[in-house]
Amino acid sequence: MSDNSNTTKERDLEMKDDIPDYGLGTVEANDKKLIRKVDRWILPIMFLVYFLQMLDKISINYSNVMGLQQDLGMKGNDFSWLATAFFIAYAAAEMPQGFFLQRFPITKVLGVNVFFWGVFLCCSSATQSYAGILSLRILLGLTEAVVAPALTLYTASFYQRREMVYRCGLWYCGLGAGQIFGGLISFAAQHAPANLSFGGWRIMFVVIGAVNILVSLLVLFVLPETPEKAKFLSEVEKERISQRLTDDQAGVGAKVFRWRSVLEAFGDLQTWLLVLLTILITIPSGVITTFSSILISGFGYDDKQSALLNVPSGVVSITATMVCTYAISKGFSRWLAIDLLLIPTLLGSCLMCFLPTSNKGGCLAGIYLVNTTVAPLALIYAWTGANFKGYTMKVAGTTIISAGFSVANILGPQTFQDKDAPRYIPAKITLVAVNAAAIFISTALRILYGRRNASADRLGTPARSVIEARVASESGAEDDPNFRYVY
């Protein structure tokens, strides 16, 4: 017994020698101090990037109530096709962007793309035709496809799996912040003098585009490529981060391309359940992102009021995201958090669908409640970073799931047809149906992960899919036998 105690003490002393000493006395306290230091340096920039990509997306929403369609001679379903074309390009670019993330440093790929976001938005302010704005939205979609995979992979390169959810939630709050600031920017731009040849929506595009270009410089020159290249970390701190990721079983690993990992990602049932869940969750989110201003205007509010009344949607998004990610960081089940978040979304969809537009308060409450659906997407990103093994599989998994996000945003706007105005009942019924289905799929994922972990416990092998087991037996490669899925 004493021999075991001595061995444990020696191991603890060796471990303590490998971690940065802040004078706090314990491994846990020193690690918390280290992670807070990482948080301060990288999370604000990641938040800004996600905030700006959301602002880029919803800028078309706000410009719609600021005269975009009239100025560019749009008619019928032209506006719906602007949103659809963006996400067709977004989906088409996922695999090429995934290749770039595999081949080059994440921060360089992300920074270059953010720079072009700004360029394309600034150019959008000068367009004089529907064809011009459509072309620029397609280019914007091609470059924005990088954002979710890049930020998910980057988060996984610094944090353990249990820490990832809250950090993904923090940068994902940029979505809600984009909704808030987008409404305020739209409101301010609508106060531009009416006799200006350069309309309010054009001013908005220039301002947002310029900020994108500035933030791209932060990504390129301030955000470190890897923990090993982080100037704000000492050598001991860098080694400790590497050790923590190794101990966590599912760190990013070496950036070595492996075809078998791509095959494993495509052949894994969890990938396609996550894709389906992403589609079902994102359809309501995409509809609200693109059409909330139109819906609110349909309740009898003017353009300025519609812009301001969009602001609470961002507050709901941020609150839902922070509450659920914090709860999960304290041990709450991820799948159950998603199911619980989808309940108010379902309620909001029903309010939008079945209440008359004369009930302004109830209809507005429905729109705000639907915004809780954006929070589960942060959990899916964190799930992907935690449950896909190795760098190549994570790249493949995140790009496939991001393509699912694009598909949902292609389908969502097409449920809004000009002939259904002003109530858009088919679109609202779609929201009810997909939310109910998402609850079922989230529960199915929990069952899948639970069964795989139970099988791994029984056999003493890594938790894995059937195709991973087959590839491992054929290649002789083995993963960490202690790996288990988180759910």
Share of the chain above pLDDT 90, in %: 32
pLDDT at 319: 93
Q: Which pLDDT tens digit goes with each residue over 237-253?
A: 999 998 888 887 655 55
Res. 343: pLDDT tops 80:
yes
Confidence of residue 8 (pLDDT cuts 50, 70, 90): very low
- The pLDDT of residue 13 is 42
Question: What is the arithmetic mean of pLDDT over 179-207?
Answer: 76
Q: Is residue 13 in some structural domain?
A: no
pLDDT category of residue 352 using cuts at 50, 70 and 90:
confident
Above 80 in pLDDT, residue 288?
no
* Average pLDDT score over residue span 159-179: 89
pLDDT of residue 284: 77
| pLDDT for the residue 290 | 63
Q: pLDDT digit string (tens) for 447-487?
A: 999 999 999 999 888 888 888 888 777 766 667 788 889 88
Give the mean pLDDT of 220-243.
92
Distance from C-alpha of 243 to C-alpha of 235, rounded to nearest angstrom: 12
The larger pLDDT score, comparing residue 346 to residue 40, is at: 40
Assess contact for 391 and 255: CB atoms under 8 A. Answer: yes
Q: Tell whether 428 is covered by a domain.
A: yes
Residue 487 in any domain: the answer is no
For residue 457, the enclosing domain spans 21-475
CATH code, domain with 416: 1.20.1250.20
> Could you tell me if residue 334 is inside a domain?
yes
194 pLDDT exceeds 80? no
Asked if 183 and 62 touch (Cβ cutoff 8 Å), the reply is yes
pLDDT of residue 6: 45
- Name the DSSP class of 233: S
- Cβ burial of 35 (10 Å; 0-12, 13-18, 19+) is middle
Concatenated DSSP letters of 413-469: HHT--GGGTTT-HHHHHHHHHHHHHHHHHHHHHHHHHHHHHHHHHHHTS----HHHH
pTM given for the model: 0.81
Question: Is residue 138 scored above 60 in pLDDT?
Answer: yes
Q: Is residue 36 part of a domain?
A: yes
Number of domains in the chain: 1
pLDDT greater at residue 319 or residue 83: 319
CA dihedral 140, 274, 371, 121 (to 10 degrees): -10
Residue 97 in any domain: the answer is yes
In a domain, 6, yes or no: no
The residue type found at 135 is: S
Q: What are phi and psi of 211, to 5 degrees?
A: -65, -40
Query: Cis link prior to 96 (omega < 30° from 0)?
Result: no
Q: What are phi and psi of 51, to 5 degrees?
A: -60, -45
Distance separating alpha carbons of residues 390 and 242, to the nearest angstrom: 14
Structure tokens at 386: 């935690």
Q: Residue 211: its pLDDT value, please?
A: 94
Question: Is 14 part of any domain?
Answer: no
Q: Which one-letter DSSP state was computed for residue 19?
A: S
Mean pLDDT value across residues 338-344: 90
